[in-house]
Amino acid sequence: GQNIDQPTEMTATEGAIVQINCTYQTSGFNGLFWYQQHAGEAPTFLSYNVLDGLEEKGRFSSFLSRSKGYSYLLLKELQMKDSASYLCAVTGSTLGRLYFGRGTQLTVWP
Amino acid sequence: GAVVSQHPSWVICKSGTSVKIECRSLDFQATTMFWYRQFPKQSLMLMATSNEGSKATYEQGVEKDKFLINHASLTLSTLTVTSAHPEDSSFYICSASLAGGPDTQYFGPGTRLTVL
């Protein structure tokens, strides 16, 4: 089966850095995605990791350790608009089929 | 970039009626489309995988006779919620996938279904 675990809620202040962790156990692995979802909207793609290491894209970075079944999303220079749910998703043995975690609701305070 | 549309964006219906939701890939051909359901403050739960020209593959616990999926072309998949009940009220999101590649699953804007 598939099990993806991430914290339910996190809070941070504007301008700070926050790290959202995700651990997973899946049968087969073809990559890990991070999505951002604002309330009432569809998820938008943030990052994709298939190899170990850090992928940096502007204010957002994502890290993967396949041996540990662990990933994190790092958000720098937080802005109010970053308040959203962040979803960790893993592609298992079937390409394109995503297994989602419950999402981490991030609230950024001024 | 790849765009996926959904119609309608929201719908309110009476209990016992059927509702059809359309998912279209606007600028690419999607060999595979996925249908998700999301309850408030919950994550996305995959309902079924739809492949063009073949029967959909349903996840465990999802009734295929209640949630009818048709993927008649490479740009259109439809989800019909038959005999809808209040517990079917949810946010339904589709995604479309290109063949191969990593970040190739593109999400539609979602459809908010409310069953009275």
Extract the tokens encoding B57: 């593959």
Instruction: Find chain A residues with C-beta within 8 A of B112's C-beta.
Output: 40
Instruction: Round the average pLDDT of chain A to a whole number and report it.
Output: 92
Residue B88 to chain A, least CA–CA distance (Å): 17
Query: Per DSSP, what are the bridge partners of residue A4?
Result: A24
Residue A77 to chain B, least CA–CA distance (Å): 25
Instruction: Find chain A residues with C-beta within 8 A of B34's C-beta.
Output: 96-98
At residue B72, the pLDDT reads 81
pLDDT tens per residue across all 116 residues of chain B? 678 999 999 999 999 999 999 999 998 888 789 999 998 878 889 999 988 888 899 999 999 999 999 988 889 999 999 999 999 999 999 998 776 555 567 889 999 999 99
Q: Does any CB of chain A come closer than 8 Å to the CB of residue B25?
A: no
A4-36 pLDDT, tens digit per residue, is 999 999 999 999 999 999 999 988 888 999 999
A66-84 pLDDT, tens digit per residue, is 999 999 999 999 999 999 9
Q: Does any CB of chain A come closer than 8 Å to the CB of residue B55?
A: no
Report whether A56 contacts A1 (CB < 8 A): no
- Could you tell me the pLDDT band of residue A95, with boundaries at 50, 70 and 90? low
Q: Does any CB of chain A come closer than 8 Å to the CB of residue B42?
A: yes
Query: Per DSSP, what are the bridge partners of residue B20?
Result: B80
In order of B6, B14, B39, B52, the CA distances from B116 in angstroms are 22, 5, 16, 33
User: From A34, which residue of chain B is nearest by alpha-carbon distance?
Assistant: B103
- Are B103 and A33 a contacting pair at CB < 8 A? yes
Strands (E), A26-102: 32-37, 44-49, 53-57, 60-65, 70-75, 84-91, 98-100
Q: Which of A46, A47, A64, A98 should be substituted to probe chain B, the one whose Cβ sees the most B Cβ atoms within 10 Å?
A: A98
pLDDT at position A93 over 60? yes
- Are B46 and A101 a contacting pair at CB < 8 A? no
Query: Per DSSP, what are the bridge partners of residue B37?
Result: B45, B92
Percent of chain A with pLDDT over 90: 75
Report whether B67 contacts B81 (CB < 8 A): yes
At residue A1, the pLDDT reads 67
Q: Does any CB of chain A come closer than 8 Å to the CB of residue B58?
A: no
At residue B101, the pLDDT reads 52
